[in-house]
Structure 1
């Protein structure tokens, strides 16, 4: 039989629901159909986009196949003409911006040519190379990151056949995978959508937009891939993707014309919840209308049921419930209502009034008793200790909540327990014996109680016997002393640990009390260090304690420590000597800490024996002094040897230059040129030796100044190849556009590095190519530009077992009596050290017969405001006309040669052998330029320059240009000589062009100063 609810309002609401629920069913069914329609619509949309991408990819593959077929037919490619192929590939790459690189491999996979700069590499293991070589057909490879470009690429390959029909190589083109993002963005797909590419193994090649949860190079979701492979083309599925979202996928595969297996699968995905948004929005609107209708109908039914029937009955029921619950003051308030409900309410109100009067008397009596019990119980429960009342039979009759908490029981559970059920130190027999007379018990003792879980804890019990209405009871106050026991044990353990630590410490430890100063405790290590027994230490007076310090350290140490003792500060850290009991002297390092507490201030001091450290420090200081002395001796020796070698070498070089211009026969001129070249080589060797010595001594300074990087590189090439490229050799210099034009660094040292490397490349490359490149790298953490320089040649190459030793001074690849190339083996060693001083790194790559590539990376600064001005053209002596020159040189050979060279240039030359003769000659004759040797007898060149400037040779002579010609050519010599009053500087051995250039410069400077003075006077 159907049973309806007893509530009137609920029955009315059920009637309303019966009419509305079918409408809700219709709305939900319609919404489900709309969701299915949206899924189909979204699937078709994503499929069209995937098919568009597939069509584009197929077209691009056909186009690339045509490009590679055309390239394979080029004669340069078929003949493996590397320079021509490189130029051809660069042109083709410019016309194919979606491609990353075009490269040619030989039949063994070795790289021959590339549109981008590359190092030697082998691609024989790459799938596209193997397939193209095996099938002789256009092939596609697998996803990779380009070794040269560093971007994500998909490689294609095509075989190349030579004139005889033999396979001569394989063309490789790498296509970047980022170019489909633009079309996807323009398609205005919903949020959360993406387009992706997968290879034949299901590995993700590309995803736009990217997501950290789905990185490129990882497999896509296995379920998605399996369903795509199992379905027919094209494929539309709904599955959970790698990012955890349920998505609608449209997939279209792309395969080569001669292959059934697709090499690429294009996926377009939209989140399923995005597809449902439109359908769910319509359903939500209909549900809202249906819900509103239901709410209005239900509300009307609720109002009628409540105010017509429900509320009066509820008031009568509530009144009855309140009466049943003991609220005798409850009244219905419906006594004046007519009808059956009104009469029922009147009868109930009269019954409640009668019961209320009877109950009032009982409540008054009960409340009085309750107040007394509450007061007593509150007093017991407010105690932080347990309180228990035990009868003479040792049974608990009452206990406060704290006592029950201590034992782990509920308060009602402890009542009725026997004392031996929770007492752990006494059993039943002992309790009945020792506590037989309750009134005789009075005192405090420690015991142990047992909790409900069986654990035992220490307690302190204060018990006494009382008599209540003639019956004896025990009243006990129980306190948990677990923490107190733990603290007491911890104090004992701590004291024992520290005593063991101090007694066994290898360092001497002492406790000092002050004032008065005395040692109150020392460990055995202190007695061992001081050579005194503990009893003797404890008996020492303050003066005897101070006397432990060495006499030379005592007074100063005592003054410092007494100030700290008086101020109540830590004694700090002190290093000093002590005198042991056996007369030995030991160095100690003392550290101290002031200890808190009552009484006289105490200090814990620790003494560490550092005698051996002090002795080692003294030995190190002596060794350092010896090393510094040796370094100074070496520097003085190098400076002297440089001067002594350059002086006679100057005479040789100048005489040879004079001879070369004196009308010799062709054979004699060749001999003079060879002798001059050998002398200059000796000069460069001397400079290299001095450079490596200065670097090793740490005296090589790196200058930071703005300079034009491209101009500096071009100047090095022009210096080494002044007449252009030799026959059969092409030397190029190229700088990346991203490299700054003006940088801040040491241009002299930079050009020295580049000169050595380019010079080596030219020396060891008889024919072929030498390429110098500069490529920008990512900026340093400080924001300064970094540049990678490379010097690559196609010369002989270097065996791998020789590479590690190339940067060692005086080391060459060819050793022994057979030497095909001259050199001292210092160039690369200097380069490595200079690169290190400039904060960079250097490396070398080579194989025999494959040439050499030397890379070095430098970090430059950027100029703030001042940029270097273009270099002024070097003045030439030929435009100066006839000059009257005073040559001051004590070496007769050099004096004769330089005088002859200058006279051949059309100048008048007077000579002097020392500074004094020069001053005397200058008082009688006027000169345009004075050339001064620095080291001369009677009066050196620097002293002569100072006297010229002081006017000892006359007022006009004080302004003459002074040029130093000296064999002092080490670091800092030029600056020191110019600071002495010189206007120019020429290092020996003197080169005629360099000398004429300096003379032209100082004379031009003199003329500009004279013109400026004349203008000022006007």
Structure 2
């Protein structure tokens, strides 16, 4: 019995089912379209409402912020502590800050400064201009577009604003659908904010427009379905308005956003119509394909067996090649089942063959299998005959590899799909290399895009073949392509540029030239480097060094100004030192002489007060000059050999009298190594100790205590740390003021009634001396409990014996009266100041010396030429001829090399002493000259004279 009728019935049922499915899909598609359209329209209404509200609120906040900033400028004008000069100096900065903060809002700012008026504007090129204004006119104020303020001093300020233009720019960033519109309602005026068609005439329905105005008047936002008229075209759409205020400038404005209803639905309609059409066609095609498949299944199977046999033969032939390519071949039928796979699969994918075949069963959900099947379906839909793609595959051992799939799709002679043959290749190494290459190219591209330099690439003849210019530079743009390097720069710079280009090309070395371009925006300077890119191309990098040139010019000017200020300061300090030390010379010198005369106890007490006051004043002067030296970096370290412990004990001895008077107990703890010989600048260390111990005794109340410790810590070889600590039970220092203690002129108690006097320089000098000697100063203190000052400096072990040092030191002589008989010298005193001359006469008389007097350098020069002297006491600053010049003239005279010349000066800077020695002086005494210092010099040079004779 034939089964043909059953086949025909099956065919009819299949066809009817297909038609029913097509109609069902069409019905569902239409319903889905209307649902999506309604949802889209509702969503866009909500979005439009939110956009309008957000724009209006942020615009209102921006205007409020502008008013606050404008108020800060008005507050600046109303500041009673500022005078007119302050206004003129800072007005431009304040105004520019406000204008720059709100681009497009401020048109003009007028300011009336009582005696003058100015106005500020921002040009189209963003140049901020300040221009004198002949007369401030209050009539410039416009209602609803200006801000005006004035103060009692008669100063006035007026901002003229562009509210509509500012609003247009502000709402540009708020997105609407194509065909939408943005408007600003001010009173009865509708302002078009659309940048594309700002002059397009828009007409609102009068009834709707009146409703909008009514809502705005009472502050109500609204959404309206309206019809607009744009020329001859009627537009249906949705309009949302949101009322707001331009701060105190303008009230009852409203921002209006509008979108066309047709634009919202047309996109949906077109998209879904195309989608549904494609779906129906796919469904029809699927049904036809299914019907045809039923009829031809047997033919497919026969053809597949034939093709499989052929493929199997081809498979065997290509196995050897695949082993070298790190790949494997696979075959699959039209159902997607793998029918065969080469043995290399296990090595590449890391899975057994049976697991691989099982993964391609029809019911498999393996991710990679589904990916491959989907690729096959996409290729069949696209009517292509092959697959070519790559992806990352994770092996069972968690190692990720990159595989490339190439598959040939097989069809029978009727065009029906039979299966496919594919090659899977492991391309991990190639992929990683290509990724590195891509990353390298991306990095290079990023560098080029962000580099501020101007880049040109030339051929060997100097013709531009490529370029990169980040900023616009006239002449250095697309127009330069094909041009020769000789015409890219001004004629006066051409020869040097071509020479650098040729040298770089010929020798392969970078050549650098500096170039100056006079552009419309001003003069700019460039540093251009030429170098070979390869055998056929040259490259140049032009770096804009305009700011560097300006900075260098400013730096030179600043350095010159600093040098001038330093010279002025040095001259001032030198003059101050000379003027103060000259009378101090007389005061302290007379005190030294008076102290040697018989005095009763009351006179001795008065003399002691005068002496202490003079020494205090001299100490203040010394502190100021020392700090000036440190600040200028001119304080030198002069190492000498000594015993740290003995130097400390000498400084403590100075304060024993004051300590006993205040009943303060001073204790010391000195390490044994501190009693050895070391080499350092003990004068500077003693200066620090004198300051710190003096402060401890001064600020410790009656009955308190001061403890001092010193020790030496070895670092390496002959290098040591000298560590010293001074601790007292004094008044203490507030913790927050400790960091400021070492600032110059700072005092914890700075009122006019303070208990302790001083310059406030002592600790500042001590800290800088310690740092200069490679150490640091540490301060800890508590109010009412006392303070602790610790410091450490670098010192070196001395290579001399202690006894040898003692032999070089003679006992200090205490009575110098009449020493002229013991150490006779023929003296010449060159001094012009009467007070100093009188003092030196008294001192030399008490010492027992006869001497001649010269009142200036010229007289001194003449006298040494006529009479033989052993020593000249030469004042440095004298009229007619100063002491330095006179000394040089004397030294130029033959036979005068044995004459001792000792300079006398109130200038204490190292430079002054250096100048004196360079002029030919043997020694230098600074004023005020003390009797003992003068006596020691006379003794020293007498002994030196005797040694020379011997």
User: What TM-score do you get using the length of structure 1 for normalisation?
Assistant: 0.51
Q: Of the candidates 501, 506, 514, which is equivalent to residue 566 of structure 1?
A: 506
1:520 maps to 465
Say whether residues 1:711 and 2:646 are aligned partners. Answer: yes
1:540 aligns with 2:469: no
Deviation at 1:643, TM superposition (A): 1.5
Q: Residues 490, 982 of structure 1: CA spacing in aligned structure 2 closer, same or farther, 3 A cutoff? A: closer
SS of residue in 2 equivalent to 1:623: helix
1:691: how far off? 0.9
Q: Is the 8 A contact 1:531 1:582 kept in 2?
A: no
Q: How does 1:843-992 map to 2 (within 5 A)?
A: 843-863=778-798, 869-870=805-806, 871-873=808-810, 876=813, 877=816, 881=821, 883=824, 884-923=826-865, 925-951=867-893, 955=895, 958-992=897-931
Query: What does 1:834-849 align with in structure 2 at a 5 Å threshold?
Result: 834-849=769-784
| In structure 1, distance between residues paired with 2:709 and 2:406 | 88
Contact 2:515–2:528 (Cα < 8 Å) also in 1: no
**Is the contact between residue 388 and residue 396 of structure 1 (CA under 8 Å) also seen in structure 2?**
no
Give the Cα–Cα distance (whole angstroms) in 2 for the partners of residues 692 and 831 of structure 1.
9
CA distance in 1, matches of 2:735, 2:521: 65
Q: Which residue matches 1:696? A: 631
1:620: Cα distance to partner?
A: 2.9
Equivalent residue number for residue 579 of structure 1: 517
> Structure 1 residues 458, 636: CA separation in 2 closer, same or farther (over 3 Å shift)?
same
Equivalent residues of 2:857, 2:886 under 8 A apart:
yes
Deviations 1:209-252 (A, max 9, x none): xxxxxxxxxxxxxxxxxxxxxxxxxxxxxxxxxxxxxxxxxxxx
- Which position in structure 2 is the counterpart of 1:189? none
Q: Which residue of 2 aligns with 1:14?
A: none
Distance 1:556 1:637, change over 3 A: farther
The answer to whether structure 1 residue 824 and structure 2 residue 759 are counterparts is: yes
Could you say what secondary structure the match of 1:642 adopts? Answer: helix
Q: Distance in 2 between matches of 1:971 and 1:638?
A: 13
Structure 1 position 806 matched with structure 2 position 741: yes
SS in 1 for 2:719: coil
Secondary structure at 1:990's aligned position in 2?
Answer: coil
Structure 2 equivalent of residue 600 of structure 1: 536
Quick check: 1:731–1:769 contact (8 Å CA) kept in 2? no
Q: Tell me, what secondary structure is at the counterpart of 1:513?
A: strand
Query: In structure 2, how many angstroms separate the alpha carbons of the residues matched to 1:834 and 1:995?
Result: 29
In the TM superposition, residue 799 of structure 1 has moved relative to its aligned partner by 5.1
Give the Å deviation of 1:502. Answer: 7.2
| 3-state DSSP of counterpart to 2:829 | strand
The 5 Å alignment of 1:394-473 reads 400-402=342-344, 410=352, 424=373, 446=388, 458-460=404-406
Match of 1:636 in 2: 571
Aligned to 2:725: 790
Distance change in 2, residues 1:675/1:532 (3 Å): same
- Once residues 848 and 787 of structure 1 are traced to their aligned partners in structure 2, the CA distance between those partners, rounded to angstroms, is 28
Contact 1:725 1:731 in 2 (8 A): no
What residue in structure 2 maps to residue 339 of structure 1? none
Query: Structure 2 CA distance, aligned partners of 1:558 and 1:872?
Result: 75
CA contact (8 A) 1:915 1:943 kept: yes
Contact 1:798/1:846 (8 A) holds in 2: yes
User: Does the Cα contact within 8 Å between 1:706 and 1:745 map onto a contact in 2?
Assistant: yes
* Equivalent-residue separation in structure 1 for 2:780 and 2:795 (angstroms): 24
Deviation readout 1:952-1000 (Å, 9 max, x if unpaired): 6xx4x64243322221212243344234433332211111111111111
Question: How many angstroms apart in 2 are the aligned matches of 1:452 and 1:663?
Answer: 111
Whole-angstrom CA distance in 2 between matches of 1:513 and 1:556: 17
Deviations 1:311-369 (CA, angstroms, capped at 9, x unpaired): xxxxxxxxxxxxxxxxxxxxxxxxxxxxxxxxxxxxxxxxxxxxxxxxxxxxxxxxxxx
Q: Is residue 935–residue 966 contact of structure 1 (8 Å, CA) maintained in 2? A: yes
What are the Cα deviations for residues 603-645 of structure 1, in whole angstroms up to 9, with x where unaligned? 3x55443423432332233122211210111011111221222
Q: Does 2:948 correspond to 1:1004?
A: no
Question: Is contact 1:531-1:581 (8 Å) kept?
Answer: no
Query: How do 1:651-730 and structure 2 match up within 5 A?
Result: 651-661=586-596, 670-721=605-656, 728-730=663-665
- For 1:38-57, list aligned pairs within 5 A: none
Q: What secondary structure, in the 3-state scheme, does the structure 1 residue paired with 2:574 have?
A: helix
What's the RMSD between the two structures over aligned residues? Answer: 5.0
Q: Conserved in 2, the CA contact under 8 Å of 1:553 and 1:576?
A: no
1:383 to 1:888, Cα distance in 2 relative to 1, 3 A:
closer
Question: 1:503 & 1:931 partners in 2: Cα distance?
Answer: 75
**Contact 2:901/2:921, CA 8 A, preserved across alignment:** yes
In structure 2, the residue matched to 1:11 is: none
Match of 2:473 in 1: 529
Structure 2: distance between partners of 1:417 and 1:960? 116
Q: Distance in 2 between matches of 1:412 and 1:662?
A: 126
Counterpart contact for 1:886–1:929, Cα < 8 Å: yes
Instruction: State how far apart, in whole Å, the 1-side matches of 2:470 and 2:899 are.
Output: 80
1:386 CA displacement? 5.8
Q: Which has the larger radius of gyration?
A: 1
CA contact (8 A) 1:767 1:795 kept: no
Asked whether the 8 Å contact 1:788–1:857 carries over to 2, the reply is: yes
Is 2:464 the partner of 1:510? Answer: no
Q: 1:565/1:481 Cα in 2 relative to 1: closer, same or farther (>3 Å)?
A: farther
Contact 1:384-1:402 within 8 A present in 2 as well: no
Cα distance between partner residues in 2 of 1:495 and 1:762:
72
Matches within 5 A, 1:231-270: none
1:452 and 1:941 mapped to 2: Cα distance? Answer: 96
Name the SS for the 2:796 alignment partner. Answer: coil
Using the TM superposition, give the Cα deviation of residue 759 of structure 1 relative to its aligned residue in structure 2, in angstroms: 2.4
Q: CA deviation at 1:749?
A: 0.9
Residue 260 (structure 1) aligns with: none
For residues 645-664 of structure 1, the C-alpha deviation after alignment (integer angstroms, 9 at most, x for no partner) is 22233233334444554556
Which deviates more from structure 2 when the two are superposed, residues 658-667 or residues 733-742?
A: 658-667
Find the residue that maps to 1:712 and give its secondary structure.
helix
Structure 1 residues 783 and 477: alpha-carbon distance in aligned structure 2, compared to 1, 3 A threshold: farther
1:966–1:551 distance in 2 versus 1, CA, 3 Å: farther
CA displacement 1:655-700 (0-9 Å, x = unmatched): 4444554556765565455434333322222111111111122222
1:735-814 alignment, distance < 5 Å: 735-739=670-674, 741-765=676-700, 767-768=702-703, 771=706, 773-776=708-711, 779=714, 784-798=719-733, 800=735, 803-814=738-749
Q: After TM superposition, give the deviation of residue 829 of structure 1 in Å.
A: 2.2
Structure 1 residues 739 and 419 mapped into 2: Cα distance closer, same or farther (>3 Å)? same
Match in the other structure for 2:110: none
| CA 1:514–1:995: 2 relative to 1, 3 Å | same
Deviation for aligned residue 1:520 = 2.4
CA drift at 1:416: 12
> 1:448–1:458: 8 Å Cα contact kept in structure 2?
yes
Q: Which residue of 1 aligns with 2:306?
A: none
Q: Deviations over 1:266-306 (max 9, x none)?
A: xxxxxxxxxxxxxxxxxxxxxxxxxxxxxxxxxxxxxxxxx
- Which segment drifts farther, 779-788 or 387-396? 387-396
Query: Is there any run of 5+ residues in structure 1 with no aligned partner, and where?
Result: 1-374, 436-442, 466-472, 1012-1018
| Alpha carbons of structure 1 residues 915 and 568: separation in structure 2 relative to 1, 3 Å | closer
